[in-house]
Amino acid sequence: MKRSRVNDIMRSADEMIRAFGFTLPPFAYWTPEQFQARVAGAQHIITTRCGWDITDYGEGRFDELGLFLFTLRNGHLSDLKRGGGMCYAEKLLISRQDQLSPMHTHVLKAEDIINRGGATLIVEVFGSDDAGGFAQDRGGVVWCDGIERRFEAGEKLRLAPGQSVTLRPGDWHAFWGEGGDVLIGEVSSVNDDESDNIFREPIGRFAAIEEDEAPLHLLASDYPAWLA
């Protein structure tokens, strides 16, 4: 993705988030230079990769296959593994109309996916086989707004604004906006985007950035190069 496109997506995402009454935290608006000046005090943000995350899954087709995310808060895997401390994470996402976030599951992370506003969010769900792999013919159980719901393999859950689904490790899922763009909330256990996204098809988690202009704000994937 070109950096200019990333910058434009940041601007439009911020407008949509504000339109639904949310405001991103102050560090969202730091310039790269301001972030570099605050490195010492911002280690938790950096090490847990909070902040902007815009991906085309390495395919170069963001409008068709992509996702906007902003990690608001995140704990450490060490806390999750020992069962105490900051064991949770929270994100805001934007799924555009017919923009696919591809089929995947998580090994450790359980998550609530919440339609915070906009159009209908479609969540397509499949179960796992006995080894945890994608099962074309297996359903399972999720919770929709706290109510247990059994699903058939490939069932498409339709979440209107205010509705949610709880997904556990081994629940394979893909999602997209239907009829318009959707602002999504994600509340989960600790988020590890480096190793805990298992995609059905071989695909990249992060976009490769072509630097055609200066960054408006740093992506979380920029931190190793810019804040070392």
Contact assessment for residue 43 and residue 58, using Cβ atoms and an 8 Å cutoff = no
Q: What is the mean pLDDT of the chain?
A: 96
State how far Cα 160 lies from the chain centre.
19
Q: How far apart are CA 116 and CA 178, in angstroms?
A: 14
What are 68-78's pLDDT values in tens digits? 999 999 999 99
User: Which domains, and CATH codes, for the chain?
Assistant: 3-226 (2.60.120.10)
Contact assessment for residue 74 and residue 49, using Cβ atoms and an 8 Å cutoff = yes
What are 27-68's pLDDT values in tens digits? 999 999 999 999 999 999 999 999 999 999 999 999 999 999
Which residues, in sequence order, are bridge partners of residue 164? 114
In this structure, is the dihedral angle defined by the CA atoms of residues 57, 59, 64 and 70, taken in order, positive or negative? positive
State how far Cα 113 lies from the chain centre.
10
Position 228 confidence tier, pLDDT thresholds 50, 70, 90: confident
pLDDT at residue number 26: 98
Half-sphere exposure of 67 (CA within 13 A, CB side): 22
Q: How far apart are CA 209 and CA 58, in angstroms?
A: 10
Q: Where are the beta strands (DSSP E) in 16-146?
A: 51-55, 67-74, 88-95, 101-105, 111-126, 140-144
The helix or strand, by DSSP H or E, that contains position 176, with its residue range, turns out to be: strand 172-189
pLDDT at residue number 193: 87
pLDDT at 117 exceeding the cut of 90: yes
pLDDT at 81 exceeding the cut of 90: no
pLDDT at residue number 194: 84
End-to-end CA, the chain: 23
pLDDT, mean of residues 71-98: 95
What is the number of other CB atoms lying within 10 angstroms of the CB of residue 138? 15
Residue 64 corresponds to which tokens in the numbers above? 């068709």
221 DSSP 8-state letter: G
Half-sphere exposure of 117 (CA within 13 A, CB side): 8
Q: How far apart are CA 163 and CA 36, in angstroms?
A: 39
- pLDDT above 70 as % of the chain: 100
Contact assessment for residue 1 and residue 210, using Cβ atoms and an 8 Å cutoff = yes
What is the number of other CB atoms lying within 10 angstroms of the CB of residue 48? 20
Q: How far apart are CA 84 and CA 178, in angstroms?
A: 39
What are 149-208's pLDDT values in tens digits? 999 999 999 999 999 999 999 999 999 999 999 999 999 999 998 889 999 998 888 889
